[in-house]
Amino acid sequence: MTMPLNETHDAKMLSWVRSANDGKTDFPVQNLPYGVFRRAGSNEQLRLGIAIGDQILDLNKAHAQGVFAHLRNAQFDKAILGDSLNGLMDLGPTTWSTLRLTLSRALREDAAQQAALQNCLLEQSAAEYSMPARIGDYTDFYTSIHHATAVGKLFRPDNPLLPNYKWVPIGYHGRSSSIGVSGQQFHRPVGQTMPPAATEPVFGPAKRMDYEMEIGIFIGQGNALGDRISIQEAEQHVFGLCLLNDWSARDMQAWEYQPLGPFLAKNFASTISPWVVTLEALAPYRKAWTRDATDPQPLAYLESTDLRDSGAFDIELEVLLQTEKMRTDNVPPQRLSLSNFRHSYWTVSQLVTHHTVNGCNLRAGDFLGSGTQSGPLPEEAGSLLELTEGGKKPINLANGEQRVFIADGDSIIMRGWAQKNGMPRIGFGEVLGTLLPARAM
């Protein structure tokens, strides 16, 4: 399951793209995440790119320069020249790894391809982004026991954590059509809510708007209907990870979630980062995965030695808020929380394996959400619902404003990165989304 380190992970390696070497960028030559872009404001065809420093390497143009000559065949050419990552995702881990090595050698310092690739770059600030892949199906999980317990106390004080939580990765099928890329703006949703002490529901705009800090998981090669993906093979079917903000209307959720779970409270918008970081790039930042000895241990199909040794990912997850007043006053966004993906109760490989254990078929570009990633400390909460204890404790912002839930005009910014001593920072960029007022009814 675990990918070995190789020359693409060399911490001393530098790039001829100088902005990749400043020690602060999310995109050093050891990262090389994939995205879909075009020149901002243009009608150009969308195309695949690699983030390197503050630049994008246009893979269409790099292909024309012959950089991928040793990889060329009809299927590869179609994938690399496409307008989404689906074709590349479907090529599988051997091709992904070979392509990563090719790009690493072409972009590292003193590469012979520098002259040919110099004109294949576009500044990220001059680009606009599209969804990295066409998402066929979207499943959102619930993998943080800290989030599940904190939210459970609000909704079910006498029974916060349901008995199945520690045995089975809980998930629900979400709405892929409303997932958008960073920069997404959406209107406050309307629907039914049950006000406190009321005997009948009311219809109107949601009042308790929230975010959820999550990791998104893009599936690579899928499986045939009826086949299972074993825990040992699960990560060979994962193309990469991104950041995900799963927006939530908490008052609508409280009214509708029993007995079948989230529906209109979740399906109006979700926002992801434009860059997909491969599991190979994250290989140096893996951690041992543990389960408290007093908790039930995973059933055999969700258990393996590799899982225990290195099944978790050490990814810092930051949430920031910028109000409309902050933007007007040119005030930078304020951090709300900082958590880490290593706290997840269930791992990436367990989610993939459990999703297919009944024979469910996954396809290239399918998307899994990790669920809100909250840590054990209060300041590591991945949602306002937890940070404000269900709206009871407002957050005082540095500019004098207060927030209990998200107000119209607010933007939520999420960032994620992996970093450790002796290794470069591998980042995801950021995912930004803005809440607009409800449309007139």
Task: From 276, 271, 321, select the one nearest 429 (Cα to Cα).
Answer: 276
User: Tens-digit pLDDT profile for the chain (441 aa)?
Assistant: 567 899 999 999 999 999 999 999 999 999 999 999 999 999 999 999 999 999 999 999 999 999 999 998 999 999 999 999 999 999 999 999 999 999 999 999 999 999 999 999 999 999 999 999 999 999 999 999 999 999 888 878 888 888 899 999 999 999 999 999 999 999 999 999 999 999 999 999 999 999 999 999 999 999 999 999 999 999 999 999 999 999 999 999 999 988 888 999 999 999 999 999 999 999 999 999 999 999 999 999 999 999 999 999 999 999 999 999 999 999 999 999 999 999 999 999 999 999 999 999 999 999 999 999 999 999 999 999 999 999 999 999 999 999 999 999 999 999 999 999 999 999 999 999 999 999 987
Q: Which residues are catalytic, by number?
A: 147
Place of tokens 């979400």: 174
Asked whether the CA dihedral 111, 117, 123, 127 is positive or negative, the reply is negative
Place of tokens 């793209």: 17
Task: From 212, 390, 401, 403, select the one nearest 317 (Cα to Cα).
Answer: 212
414 and 250 Cβ atoms separated by less than 8 Å: no
Overall CATH class of domain 138-436: alpha beta
Tokens of 419: 């970093």
Q: Map residue 335 onto helix, strand or coil.
A: strand
Residue 234 is predicted with a pLDDT of 98
CATH number of 7-130: 2.30.30.230
List of residues 6+ apart from 389 with CB closer than 8 A: 154
Residue 1 is predicted with a pLDDT of 53
- From residue 36, give the alpha-carbon distance in Å to each of 157, 201, 273, 426: 45, 43, 11, 19
Q: Map residue 120 onto helix, strand or coil.
A: helix
Residue 153 is predicted with a pLDDT of 87
Tokens of 330: 């040119």
Q: Do 138-436 and 7-130 fall under one CATH topology?
A: no
Provide the whole-model pTM: 0.97
What is the DSSP annotation of 332-343? PPEEEEEEEGGG
Delimit the domains of the chain by residue range. Answer: 7-130, 138-436
pLDDT digits (tens, 9 = 90+) for 309-360: 999 999 999 999 999 999 999 999 999 999 999 999 999 999 999 999 999 9
Task: From 163, 190, 128, select the one nearest 437 (Cα to Cα).
Answer: 190
321 and 397 Cβ atoms separated by less than 8 Å: yes
The 3-state DSSP composition of the chain as helix, strand, coil percent (nearest 5) reads: 25, 25, 50
